[in-house]
Structure 1
Amino acid sequence: MDSDLAGAALRLDGVGRRYAMGGPWVLRGVGLGIRAGTLVRIEGANGTGKSTLLRLLAGIDAPTEGRVAGRPRTAYVPERFPAALPFTAAGYLTHLGRIHGLAKGAAARGAEEWLERFGAGSYSRTPLSELSKGSSQKVAVAQALLAAPELLVLDEAWTGLDAAARDELDRAVAERVADGGAVVFVDHDPRRLSGTVDVTYAVVGSAVNLRTPDGTSPEAAASEGPSVVIEAQGPPGAAPPPVPGAVTGHSPEGALRLTVAATHSDVALRALLTARPPWHVVSVTEWVTESVRVSAPGLAWAPGWVSGLASAPASEPGSASAAGSASASAPEPAPSLAPSPPPEPASAAVPEPSPSPPPPSSPPPPPPPEPASESLPAAPSAAPMTGEVRDR
C-alpha cells in the first residue's frame, strides 16, 4: 500500500455551514474523522444537508465556522455534472488528469481506460454537451477515479448509470478502499454497498450523528445503557484523534474529556493509545445506573494493553464513590472494555425510630458529569484543494 495513502486523513472539528449571514444553519457542530482505507456512508432525508457535508469534505465549500484538518488528494462526483463544458469526453478527462498531476500521456491513457471500463469508450470523441445524462455521469465518475485519489467523495454517483456501470462503480470503490483510499458516499438505495460499509453517519436537524450497526446513535445507546467518560492528556499542541460518536469537552484541570457509549469505549481508547504521538489516559469513569458510578482514576495506560475496571456500589444515596483497581500486565493482549454487569443498588437506610417516621424514599440520582464543552481551538482552514470538479 502507498505510504501516502496509509497516512491520509481528514477531520472536521466543530464545523458549521450556512449560506447567508444570519441565515439558518444547514450544518452546525459537526465533528467527524475520515480515516484511510474506510468506506463511509452518509444518510439523511432530502434537504437535510448531505450534499453540503460532502462539499465540505471535498473542499468545494469552506466552513462558516470550525476547522477542517488534513487535506488528502481528493476527487469529487457532484450530484449534478456540469455537462455544458467545451470538451470532448476524452479531452475533459485528459484535462482533469493533468490538473490531478498526471503527465499528458498518462492522463490520455487513463481517460481511455476508464471510459472503456464504464462502457463509454465509443463516446470518447463526443462533445460533453451532446452526451446523454447516463453517458455524462460515466464521464463524471471516470474523472474522479482517474488519478487514484486518497479521498473519493460520491454524491449520488450511481444515479443515471446503467446496471453494468453501477456494478463497475461498486468494483472501483472496493479497489480504492483496498488500496488504502477512503470513500465517502451518498446514495438513495439503502442496499448500496451493504455489508462493506465501515461507518455510517446520519444528517438530522443540522447535526451529523454516528450510526451503530443496529441504526441507533451512540448517544441513544448511552441513554439506554452505561456510558463511559474518558479523560486524557496529549503532547502540548497536539490535536485529539477523531473518535466517532464521542461528545468532546475538557475537565476543570484542562484534560481532554470524551463521553461515549460503553459499547464504543474500546474504539475511543484505541484511538487515543494508537495516536502518533500517543495520548496518556488519566481516568476512565463508567456511569452504570442512575445511582451508581464506577471509576478507575489515575491509571498508567500504554499502547498494547488495557487495565480492567473493578466496580463497587455507591456508599451513600446520591454519592458517587468508586473503587478503581487496575492490573497492568504488559504481555497479555488488550481485554475488552465491555461493561461489567451493574452491581445491586444500595438499599435505602432505615430511619431512626421516631414518633412519626417519614415514609422511605428512593435515593436521588447522583449529579451527572459536567456538560462537555463542544468548543474547539480556532485554527486556520486547510488550504483549498485542486483537481476536483466544481459544481457551480
Structure 2
Amino acid sequence: MIKRSISVAFSNYIQTFPVVALIGARQVGKTTFAKEYAKQQGDKALYLDLERTSDRNKLRDPELYLQSRSDKTIILDEIQTMPDIFPLLRSLVDDNRKPGRFILLGSASPVLLQSSSETLAGRIATIKMEPIHYRELTKGILMENHWLRGGFPESLLSNTDSTSYNWREQFIKTYIERDLPALGSALDPLRLQQLLNILADIHGGILNYSSIAQSMSVSVPTIQRYIDFLEHAFIIRRLQPYHINATKRIVKAPRIYITDSGMLHSLLEIETHDNLAASSKLGTSWEGYVLQQIIANISERITPYYYRTQDGAEIDLLLQRGTKTVAAIEIKYSSTPTLTKGSVLAFADSKAPLKIIITPKAHGYTINNNVQVHSIKTMWDVLEANKLIK
C-alpha cells in the first residue's frame, strides 16, 4: 500500500479537532485511508457508508445512534449525501468536544463545502486528498507511468496500460452519468462530456468562457456555473493570473487544466507512451503534470499563480507567500531548455529569489540569469530548502 502524505496532518488534526474532513475526487483513496485508520483503532472506530442502504438505515434516528456511540470515532463516508446531519454534528460536538469524534469523507460539492464551513466552523479541520503524487511513489513505479496513467490508485497500479486506460474510461463515464448528478449537477451527460473534451483540448491554455459557450450554444453564465462545479469536484483546476506590476498590461483570465494527467490522456484518447510521445499535446501535458505535482505539495501558506503580459512576458508558475513572490517556475519538455525572450522578461518582472526550469531529465545546473534547471526528481530538494513544500 502506498503511504499517503496526508498521514502527518491527519494524525495532528485527529488529536486536536472533534471533526476531521477528508475531501477529494471520487476514487482518490479517501475510503481506503479511513478504513486503514479504523482498522488500526479496532473497536474504537466505526465506519458507515452513507450510500449503503443498511448503513443509512442505522441513522433513522441519527441523534440516538451517534450519541450512544460517543466513545467511538464515527467515520461517515459520502457525507455530501446527508447534508441535513451537519447541525446535529455541531450540537453533538458542542456537548462533547473530544478530539477525533467524527471523520467525514466526501467528494467536494457546494453543499458539502458550505455546510461544513458554516455549520462546523471552529470545530472542523479539512484535508484535501489529491491523487497519488510524485513524492508518494514507491520504488518500482516509474515517473513515466505516473505521468501517463495519473494518480488515481486503480489507474496507477493497474497491471497494464490498457487496463489502466479502460478503468479511466469507465471512471469518466460513471462520473458524468452518476456521480456528478449526485453532487447536484443538472447538466446533460452528453453536454458534460462535450465540455470535458473541450477543456482537455485547451488544457494549459487561457480560459475563454465566451468561446466555449458559443461552441456549445449555451450562455456564458451557464458555462461558468458548470466549470465552477467541475472545479469543486476536483476534475479541473483554474490557475489564476498574478498581477505583479499594476503598470503592466496583464492577461487577466485564468489558465485551465485537467487536474489529473491520466484523466487528461483518456479525454484526449492517449492510451500508450507512444501515443503520448507522438501527441501535439505532449508539452502541455507535461506542464500540467509537473504543475499538479508541485501544487499538491506546496505549503498551505503558498499560493500558486501564472504570469503573462500582453507584451509577451510569460511564466508557467509563480509561488507567492503573503505579498512576496518566492519562486518563478517554467516547465519545459526539453532536454536542452533555453530562455525565451518572454521567460527572461517574466523572470525579471517576478523578482523571485528562486528561478527554476523543470524538464523531464536534468541533474541540476544553472544557466544565465541565475536560472536553475532541474528534473522533477531533483527539484524537491530545492523547493524544500526554500521552505516551499509541506
TM-score, structure 2 length as denominator? 0.31
Q: Which one scores higher on RCO, CA 8 angstroms, separation ≥ 6? A: 1
Instruction: Considering fraction of residues, name the structure with more helix.
Output: 2
TM-score, structure 1 length as denominator? 0.31
